[in-house]
Copies of this chain bind each other. A is one copy, B any other.
Amino acid sequence: MASKLNVRHASQVACRDCSLSPLCLPLALKIEDIDELDEIIKRGRPLKKGEHLFLEGDSFHSVFAVRSGALKTYTSTNEGEEQITGFYLPSELVGLSGLDTDSYPVSAQAIETTMVCEIPFDKLEKLSDNHPSLRRQLMRIMSKKIREDQQMKLLLSKKNADERIATFLINLASRFRRRGFSSQSFRLSMSRNEMGNYLGLAVETVSRVFTRFQKAELIHANGKEIEITNAMELCILAGGKLADNADVVNIQ
């Protein structure tokens, strides 16, 4: 089954018609300017699960907006194991961390069938020369990423397994919500293994926590299908800032 996130997009929709535009880069532009952005965007064929968008070390040339599906980014430690650094849902921008080097510092791989909009960075820079608001949007996106990374570091250095998983689920729920999907029940696009890798936990621990959450009736999990049955409790467990969780608890 294709991701729910797929259904609403034809393969070659323009930014001005894309339902993601209020979340994506066009957000920064006036309606009459969106077409300018549209012209520099390249839309390729869909990536199948497992295909790479770029590899660590590839020369940096573009940033990418996820249109449907999902991506992960990862680096390889020198022992050869991978460290997942992020998951990307529709409207989110991948590749910005390569911006100050000549090559991508991470690899980006589709974890389900995924469509992306490629934005050549030199052209984006030129465009943003004439559009301060686009510039600021880019800065905001990076600044937001830095704050999210801070939250992630807090998670990795202070939270226990339960809190990590709770945080992860709440965060996903909130991102789904903002995209117009249910924050109560959704489908995880990543495997338990990938989740554990990202959260700094062994697969087995992830599995055990899911079982425990299920018994505590916080969630109902069936493979990758997740239903959050006690959002309030889960938020408390996650223990993040209320602002991040509010929309998950209040509106369902």
Binding site for B on A (CB under 8 A): 75, 77-79, 81, 83, 85, 96-101, 105-106, 125, 129, 132, 135-136, 138-147, 149-150, 152-154, 156-158, 197, 199-200, 239-241
Contacts and interface: CB of A to CB of B under 8 A. Distances in A.
A143 to B, nearest CB: 4
A153 B153 contact: yes
Could you tell me the dominant secondary structure of chain A's interface residues?
helix
Contacts of A199: 157
A154 B99 contact: no
A77 B129 CA distance: 39
Contact of A100 (B77, B100, B106, B144): B144
Given A81-B158, A139-B139, A142-B139, A150 B100 contact: no
A100 to B, nearest CB: 3
B158 A97 contact: no
Copies in the complex: 2
Contacts of A147: 97, 100-101, 105
7 contacts: A77-B154, A77-B158, A96-B143, A97-B150, A100-B139, A129-B132, A139-B142
Given A77-B158, A83-B158, A132-B129, A153 B144 contact: no
Contacts of A106: 150
Nearest to A149: B149
B100 A241 contact: no
B146 A96 contact: yes
A240 B125 CA distance: 32
Contacts of A97: 143, 146-147, 150
A150 B143 CA distance: 14
Nearest to A78: B239
B140 A200 contact: no
A92 to B, nearest CB: 14
Contacts of A75: 150, 154
A135 to B, nearest CB: 7
Nearest to A240: B78
B154 A83 contact: yes
